[in-house]
Each structure stands twice: as structure tokens, then as C-alpha cells.
């Protein structure tokens, strides 16, 4: 089938196959991590396709076999925030990324993300917000931000808070890595296929007659590639524990439940949580509680406020240093204990930004 090239950047490849558009995240050595240039390349294209009646579908995939997208370029963000040179990347990156996430979530055309391999942080924003998310046995999906002194953003307030059995709270606080079919069972992927069938899946999508493309048609096609031997949910035995122990009116209540439970699994979770930023955990807990009550565009207003507070504070920069720069994996959180993170501090994170700085996105039919 003839494919015509659309002007592209080296890091974001775009092709047109009749009425379909295929986007390839092309930074395989960086596990296709999302940077500001890629956001600025993709957003106007997706806007154009969304409004163009000649475009019937958008497919997004990662280059190479290791990753769909391993996250956003947070190193550039922390460097910008600490620099005293007038750089605005720490504002621009999140603002423009959230505009893109919101557009993906409200796209009028079927948007299909082939999430083969590592899918973390910003990679979830490029996929989970979309209508169709196709996982494989090689998919590894996680929102590990509490270990970085940040919070699970890119719409996580919306899609994590709406997962069954308090699974979203568990994933958000612990950064637990979902593997393969678990991404589908958790509800973060809509379909599952074998990685060896991905090329066939993509070609079948491209072969769909444009006039026949509907959500139902795409859904039916993707279901045809579902393996007969999909593994069961590996958390099926723990889900009752997650539902009861990660339910609480405060983060402290969850921690107490885990401590009182005494089981080996509960103690393991406490050990994991003890390594996370106390501030991040307190903010993340409230983020998911509030996210459940907010409309889709309004979660991005909240999340943008949180990003700007985090770049002003200590833990995000310390997390980036410990995990991404020095790689000693020994962050010195401040405050170091959950009980020392005051409600006044958490309130500050959620407070409106100075006049004219809040991110306001249009209401939608989402």
C-alpha cells in the first residue's frame, strides 16, 4: 500500500497511509522518552488530523523492541527550574504535554496506541488517555513518580482514580510495574495481542476501508488478534488486600492498615512506601481522591498546579539527582517522614497559581 511521507522530525516519524496516520516515537536509545520537541511536533499534527475529515485513524507506536515510551524528559525540567537563565522549560513542558494528553483523550478519530515494551509516566499519557491501548506480553507499564519526588500526572488523576478495587491508589503510591496481560486485566490496556503479531495488527488496521472505520470496527479487529492463552491477572490473589488496605480517608490510615495487617505482603508494601517521597505520597493520595470528582479537562488544571509546586520545592530535584543524575538511589527527602508533611503544605500544592498562570482546557464530551 502506498505510503506518503508528511514533514517530520528525526525524533518523531509520521507517515500517511491513505486516510490513516502513523506516528513513530523515534528515540530508541532513550527508550523513546518524550521531549518538548516531540510534543511540539505531534500536537499540531494531531489537532489537524482531529479536524480533517480525510483522516480516519491515528496509530502511535515506539521505535525498536524495548519501549513504547519510557516517560517524559524530566531532567530537562529540573535543570530549567534550577537555572537562573530565564529558561521556561519547566513551565512549557508540562503545559504543552497536558494540552497533548487532553487532545488525545478527546480525539474524534480512533486513536490506537501500540504499547509494546516499556510504557511509563509520559508514555502512559500518550497511550492510556487514548481510546485504544494495545498491550503485548512485553509491555511493562508503571507510574513510578513517587520514587522521583513527583506524582503520577499526564491524566493519572483521571484514569488511575477510576480503576477497580483501589488498584489506582496502589499503583500510584507504590509505582508497581504491571507486566504483559496484567496491563489489560488492570484496565489500562483495552486489548492484548502477541508481540509477534504487531505488524499484522498494524497492517490490518491500515487495510480497513476508510468509510467503514468506527470504534466498533476497530474494537472487533483488535479482538480478533487476542491470544487464546492470555495469562490470568497475577494480582488476582492480592486484589482483595489492595481493595481493603489501600482504602482510607487519609494516607496515614492506609499506612496504619498495612502496619496492622501483619501479612508478608502488607509488610512488603510498607517497605516499598518507606522509600518514596513522603510529600509525593501525601499529594498523590489527595490527587487521586480529587481526581475522581473532577471532569477530564479539570484534572489537567489540577495536575499543572501540582507540577509548578513540585518544581518550586525540594523533593522533585532531589529525586532526579538520586535516580537520574548521581544514580545513588538514596534520596534525602525533606520532610523525611509522612507525619511531618503538614496539611497546610499539601493545601499549598493544590492552590491556584498566580493570575494568568493556571492551565485551563475546554470542556469536552469525554
Q: Does the pLDDT at position 315 exceed 90?
A: yes
Q: Is residue 90 part of a domain?
A: yes
Which residues constitute the domain of residue 124? 12-350
pLDDT tens-digit series, residues 279-302? 999 999 999 999 999 999 999 999
pLDDT tens-digit series, residues 141-182? 999 999 999 999 999 999 999 999 999 999 999 999 999 999
Q: Does the pLDDT at position 9 exceed 80?
A: no
Please state the pTM of the whole predicted model.
0.95
Q: Is residue 364 part of a domain?
A: no
Mean pLDDT score of the chain, rounded to an integer?
Answer: 95
Q: Is residue 357 part of a domain?
A: no
What is the C-alpha R_g of the chain? 20
pLDDT at 365: 54
Q: Is residue 1 part of a domain?
A: no
pLDDT at 85: 78
pLDDT tens-digit series, residues 46-68? 999 999 999 999 999 999 999 99
Confidence of residue 226 (pLDDT cuts 50, 70, 90): very high
329-352: b or e for each residue (b if 16 or more CB lie within 10 Å)? eebebebeebeebeeeebeebeee
pLDDT at 348: 98
**What is the CATH classification number for the domain harbouring 51?**
3.90.226.10
Q: Is residue 366 part of a domain?
A: no
pLDDT at 111: 99
pLDDT at 2: 43
Q: Is residue 34 part of a domain?
A: yes
The DSSP annotation for 116-170 comes to -SEEETHHHHHHTTSSEEEE-TT-EEE--GGGGTS---TTHHHHTTTSGGGHHHH
Residues belonging to the active site:
72, 122, 145, 153
Q: Is residue 361 part of a domain?
A: no
Overall domain count for the chain: 1
Q: Is residue 39 part of a domain?
A: yes
Amino acid at each position: 500500500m502506498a505510503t506518503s511521507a508528511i514533514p517530520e522530525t528525526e525524533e518523531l516519524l509520521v507517515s500517511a497511509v491513505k486516510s490513516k496516520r502513523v506516528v513513530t516515537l523515534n528515540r530508541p536509545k532513550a527508550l523513546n522518552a518524550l521531549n518538548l520537541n516531540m510534543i511540539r511536533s505531534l500536537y499540531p499534527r494531531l489537532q489537524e488530523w482531529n479536524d480533517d475529515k480525510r483522516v480516519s485513524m491515528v496509530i502511535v507506536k515506539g521505535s525498536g523492541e524495548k519501549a513504547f515510551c519510557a516517560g517524559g524528559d524530566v531532567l530537562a525540567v529540573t535543570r530549567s527550574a534550577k537555572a537562573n537563565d530565564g529558561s521556561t522549560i519547566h513551565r512549557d513542558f508540562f503545559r504543552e504535554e497536558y494540552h497533548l494528553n487532553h487532545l488525545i483523550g478527546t480525539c474524534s478519530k480512533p486513536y490506537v496506541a501500540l504499547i509494546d515494551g516499556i510504557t511509563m509516566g509520559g508514555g502512559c499519557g500518550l497511550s492510556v488517555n487514548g481510546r485504544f491501548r494495545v498491550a503485548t506480553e512485553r509491555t511493562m507499564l508503571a507510574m513510578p513518580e513517587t520514587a522521583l519526588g513527583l506524582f503520577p500526572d499526564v491524566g493519572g488523576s483521571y484514569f488511575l482514580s477510576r480503576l477497580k478495587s483501589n488498584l489506582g491508589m496502589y499503583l500510584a503510591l507504590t509505582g508497581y510495574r504491571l507486566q504483559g496481560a496484567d496491563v489489560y486485566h488492570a484496565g489500562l490496556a483495552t486489548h492484548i495481542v502477541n508481540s509477534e503479531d504487531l505488524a499484522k495488527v498494524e497492517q490490518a488496521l491500515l487495510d480497513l476501508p476508510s468509510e467503514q472505520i468506527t470504534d466498533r470496527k476497530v474494537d472487533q479487529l483488535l479482538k480478533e488478534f487476542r491470544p487464546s492463552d492470555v495469562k490470568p491477572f497475577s494480582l488476582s490473589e492480592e486484589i482483595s488486600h489492595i481493595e481493603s488496605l489501600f482504602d482510607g480517608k487519609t494516607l496515614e490510615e492506609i499506612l496504619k492498615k498495612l502496619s496492622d495487617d501483619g501479612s508478608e505482603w502488607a509488610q512488603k508494601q510498607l517497605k516499598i512506601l518507606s522509600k518514596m517521597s513522603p510529600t509525593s505520597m501525601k499529594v498523590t493520595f489527595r490527587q487521586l481522591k480529587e481526581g475522581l470528582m473532577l471532569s477530564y479537562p479539570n484534572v489537567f488544571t489540577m495536575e499543572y498546579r501540582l507540577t509548578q509546586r513540585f518544581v518550586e520545592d525540594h523533593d522533585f530535584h532531589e529525586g532526579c539527582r538520586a535516580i537520574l543524575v548521581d544514580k545513588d538511589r538514596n534520596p534525602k527527602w525533606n520532610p523525611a517522614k509522612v507525619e511531618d508533611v503538614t496539611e497546610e503544605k499539601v493545601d499549598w500544592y493544590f492552590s491556584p497559581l498566580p493570575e494568568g498562570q493556571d492551565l485551563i482546557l475546554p470542556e469536552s464530551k469525554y
